[in-house]
Amino acid sequence: EVQILETGGGLVKPGGSLRLSCATSGFNFNDYFMNWVRQAPGKGLEWVAQIRNKNYNYATYYAESLEGRVTISRDDSKSSVYLQVSSLRAEDTAIYYCTRGRGRFDYWGQGVMVTVSS
Amino acid sequence: AIVLNQSPSSIVASQGEKVTITCRASSSISSNYLHWYQQKPGAFPKLVIYSTSYRASGIPSRFSGSGSGTSYSFTISRVEAEDVATYYCQQGSSNPLTFGSGTKLEIK
């Protein structure tokens, strides 16, 4: 059974930074691209970042709205993916979902809440 | 970036009614790369239709999708109470990956 679990959310002050973690199991992590997708309260879905697998040299891609403030990384030995977000703003307040997939997201975690507030 | 214009933004339907949601892309995309998700209240999104017309595992046959080029649609042939959710289209053709703005389905 595929399992995806995000951790690391919480309350952060504006200008602060946060590292989200996503632990996975139940599939061959090395074979898959992984993504982060976020959803602000009461709003729609926004793709944040993608990291490809070793076959694609772990290439990374980012949403323009966040580029320069986010870094996605992965540890294949731990079947985990991470999202580092810096210079946090109120508009970064959202549920952050970890998802599996190259062009479509076939499995999702439950999400982790990030609140940016003073 | 490919913009997906999804309409309507909300639908109120009776049980047993047919509902259709449209998704128009700002540029042509292969039908292999257009997908639909269902997000029930308080839950994470779930893949319902992938590559325009293929139902994901466990998805009932009342859900279907069609389209090509820049115009795609998602249909529930006979709405049930459990279908109350927000539905999103999404393109995986090129980065940045993008979603439509969502369609909220409510039951009368």
B50 part of contact set with chain A, CB < 8 Å: yes
- CB-CB contact of B74 with B87 (8 Å): yes
Are A45 and B44 inside 8 Å of each other by CB?
no
> Residues A46-75: what's their mean pLDDT?
96
* Interfacial A residues in 45-84 facing B (CB < 8 Å): 45-47, 50, 61-64
> B95 or A95, which is more confident?
A95
Looking at residue A63, its pLDDT comes to 95
- CB-CB contact of A1 with A55 (8 Å): no
- CA gap A82, A23 in Å, rounded: 9
**Is the pLDDT assigned to residue A67 strictly greater than 90?**
no
**Is the pLDDT assigned to residue A86 strictly greater than 90?**
yes
* Interfacial B residues in 71-100 facing A (CB < 8 Å): 86, 88, 90, 92-93, 95-100
> Residues A48-52: what's their mean pLDDT?
97
Query: Closest partner residue to B92 among A46, A97, A103, by Cβ?
Result: A103
- CA gap A24, A109 in Å, rounded: 9
Helix (H) / strand (E) containing A74: strand A70-75
Looking at residue B64, its pLDDT comes to 98
Query: Residue A32's pLDDT band (boundaries 50, 70, 90)?
Result: very high
Average pLDDT, chain B: 97
Residues of chain B with pLDDT under 50: none
**Is the pLDDT assigned to residue A28 strictly greater than 90?**
yes
A111 part of contact set with chain B, CB < 8 Å: yes
B59 part of contact set with chain A, CB < 8 Å: no
Q: What sign does the CA torsion over B72, B74, B77, B78 have?
A: negative
B61 three-class SS: coil
pLDDT tens string A99-113: 999 999 999 999 999
